[in-house]
């Protein structure tokens, strides 16, 4: 299939459709992001009128959908449409998706910031209900806070590196800022892991839904990316 895809691309014809594995990954992405958004909006302690609701809502969509799609953009080999089957096109789509994901992450952080301000609670500390976590030991709640701030900081650094790398690529420098790829994997792992932790600490989702979300997120982490860049458009061979 890889040889056939390469032949099609080389001949300038339309690329092959997504493979079965990629379609399953996309289905899991849509399932996890939909459930992550549905939980806070329908939970009796959340809802659209609760400011804190938008923290898990935006963070869930950002990491499970937008940043995941952006992270996978170079790994999909057979996206439909000739226009997207080139490194330059995929870099543009990657940049757009990551930028949108970053905006939602910032919006999610602003939501928790405003919620803390309204309740008179302190940042960098474990909050109590109604907008704090209702389950789990104290150390897991504190871990979610620490990892969350760390991920946000690293994500901002990653975004700055991405802008610099994009400009360098426009000047023809293909080897600039190689750490951008490594840092992206770290941020992606921390972000999805922290989203999963939040799902198990807040009772906006039932146990079956928590299991489904966790399975989908683990699938995103394990089966979606080609971590070593050995296939797809990360492969320099």
Lowest mean pLDDT among 53-57, 84-88, 162-166, 186-190: 84-88
Residue 19, sorted as left (phi over 0), alpha (psi -120 to 50) or beta, turns out to be: beta
Over range 101-107, report the average pLDDT. 97
Question: SS3 helix, strand, coil % of the chain, rounded to 5?
Answer: 70, 0, 30
Instruction: Report whether 31 contacts 89 (CB < 8 A).
Output: no
**Residue 210: pLDDT above 80?**
yes
Which residues 6+ apart lie within 8 Å of 162 measured at CB?
95, 98, 180
pLDDT of residue 132: 65
**Residue 187: pLDDT above 60?**
yes
pLDDT of residue 80: 64
**Position 19 confidence tier, pLDDT thresholds 50, 70, 90:** low
Which tens digit of pLDDT belongs to each residue from 108-152? 999 999 988 888 877 777 776 655 676 778 888 899 999 999 999
**pTM of this prediction?**
0.83
**Residue 228: pLDDT above 70?**
no
Residue 59, CB-side half-sphere exposure with 13 Å CA sphere: 29
Over range 75-86, report the average pLDDT. 67
Choose between 25 and 188: higher pLDDT: 188
Per DSSP, the chain holds a count of helices (H) and strands (E) of 8, 0
pLDDT of residue 131: 59
**Residue 76: pLDDT above 80?**
no
pLDDT of residue 53: 92
Helix axes 179-201 and 207-222, enclosed angle (nearest 10): 170
User: What percentage of the chain carries pLDDT values higher than 70?
Assistant: 79
Choose between 19 and 175: higher pLDDT: 175
Over range 89-109, report the average pLDDT. 93
Residues in the chain, total: 237
Over range 153-181, report the average pLDDT. 89
**Position 159 confidence tier, pLDDT thresholds 50, 70, 90:** very high
pLDDT of residue 235: 47
């Amino acid at each position: 299939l890889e040889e056939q895809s390469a032949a099609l691309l080389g001949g300038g014809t339309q690329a092959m459709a997504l493979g079965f594995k990629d379609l399953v990954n996309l289905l899991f992405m849509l399932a996890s992001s939909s459930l992550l958004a549905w939980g806070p909006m329908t939970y009796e302690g959340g809802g659209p009128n609760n400011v804190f609701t938008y923290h898990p809502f935006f963070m869930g969509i950002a990491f499970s959908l937008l940043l995941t799609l952006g992270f996978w953009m170079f790994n999909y080999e057979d996206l439909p449409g000739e226009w997207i089957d080139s490194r330059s096109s995929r870099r543009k789509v990657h940049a757009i998706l990551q930028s949108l994901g970053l905006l939602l992450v910032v919006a999610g952080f602003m939501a928790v910031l405003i919620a803390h301000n309204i309740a008179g609670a302190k940042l960098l500390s474990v909050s109590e209900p109604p907008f704090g976590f209702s389950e789990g030991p104290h150390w897991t709640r504190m871990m979610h806070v620490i990892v969350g701030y760390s991920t946000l900081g690293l994500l901002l650094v990653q975004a700055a590196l991405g802008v610099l790398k994009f400009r360098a690529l426009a000047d023809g420098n293909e080897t600039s800022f190689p750490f951008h790829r490594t840092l992206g994997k770290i941020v992606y792992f921390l972000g999805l892991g922290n989203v999963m932790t939040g799902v198990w600490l807040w009772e906006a989702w039932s146990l079956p839904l928590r299991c489904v979300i966790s399975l989908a997120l683990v699938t995103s982490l394990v089966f979606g990316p080609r971590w070593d860049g050995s296939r797809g458009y990360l492969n320099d061979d």
